[in-house]
Amino acid sequence: MRLEGRKALVTGGASGIGTAIAARLAAEGAEVWVGDIDVEGAERVAGEVNGHALELDVTDLESARAAVEAVGTLDILVNNAGTDEFGFFTYTSPEQWHRLIGINLIGVFNCTHAALPAMQEAKYGRILSISSEAGRVGSKGSAVYSATKGGVVAFMKAIARENARYGVTANSIAPGPIETPLLMGAKEFGEIGEKVIETMRSSTQMGRLGQPEEVAAAAAFLVSDDATYVTGETLGVSGGLGMV
């Protein structure tokens, strides 16, 4: 029960990794708000974790502000909402780039911007962003996604530097291939999608896909007071895919 008495907001909590994080934080005692554009999904997960659902579009600063306000004193922000559109870069369009940047990068700016002032005042806060190993090694077929995730890592480091004096930590997790609707959606692309998943699986040292709960366990550590001296870090949860 490392998170007893803490209030946490998990963005994109209606599916995959976000759902597992919401469940793990709740299991460790946190009061959890599940924020998602998929309101029905958020309500379902909130019911499962005995938490609260929020309609949240991370691309919209006002929506992020309203979510943070609805929580009250927010102790833990998990920037998890994110997406990808598979395609080799030359076949992608500026519309796709802007959509990915809006959700994966500006979405993290919006929620962090909304959450920080009260955390600074409270002299306590935990900000955790779900980046990706793609942001560190670059992923074939996900060039813009990789760029957004690299941006998230750099952004968390800068936030960590600016906010250590306020008792606020900021870290990232870089998952490898995790079995969620986002990754398994690559199968819609037929043989090439299957190949992408297989290439990712075989790029891990462990030779398998990860499970959302394995990311959630790392998340719970980084937002807990077991990690009081950890900030600006990027923790790979990727079966050894991203090790240097």
Ligand X SMILES: NC(=O)c1ccc[n+]([C@@H]2O[C@H](COP(=O)([O-])OP(=O)(O)OC[C@H]3O[C@@H](n4cnc5c(N)ncnc54)[C@H](O)[C@@H]3O)[C@@H](O)[C@H]2O)c1
Residue 79 near residue 108 (C-beta atoms within 8 A): yes
Smallest separation (angstroms) from ligand X to the CB of 124: 25
Residue 77 near residue 163 (C-beta atoms within 8 A): no
Residue of the chain from 51, 125, 141, 175 that contacts ligand X (CB under 6 A): 175
From the list 14-22, 25-33, 87-95, 222-230, the region that binds ligand X by CB under 6 A is 14-22
Smallest separation (angstroms) from ligand X to the CB of 161: 23
Smallest separation (angstroms) from ligand X to the CB of 8: 16
Smallest CA-to-CA distance from 211 within 240, 171, 175, 174 is with: 175
Q: Is 166 a catalytic residue?
A: no
Count of beta carbons in the 10 Å neighbourhood of residue 205: 11
Per DSSP, 189 falls in state G
Which residues from 184-243 bind ligand X, rule CB under 6 A?
A: none
Residue of the chain from 26, 56, 105, 227 that contacts ligand X (CB under 6 A): 56
Strand partners, 78: 10, 128
Q: Which of 91, 124, 145, 229 is catalytic?
A: 145
Which residues from 109-168 bind ligand X, rule CB under 6 A?
A: 130, 132
Strand partners, 237: 175
Distance CA 132, CA 127 (A): 16
Residue of the chain from 28, 31, 57, 214 that contacts ligand X (CB under 6 A): 57
Q: Which two tokens stand for residue 135?
A: 């942001």
Complete edge-to-edge strand list for the sheet that includes strand 168-175: 52-55, 31-36, 7-11, 76-79, 125-130, 168-175, 234-237
Residue of the chain from 17, 71, 168, 170 that contacts ligand X (CB under 6 A): 17
| Chain contacts with ligand X (rule: CB under 6 A) | 11-12, 14-18, 36-38, 41, 56-59, 80-83, 103, 107, 130, 132, 175, 177-178, 180-183
Hey, which residues are catalytic here? 145
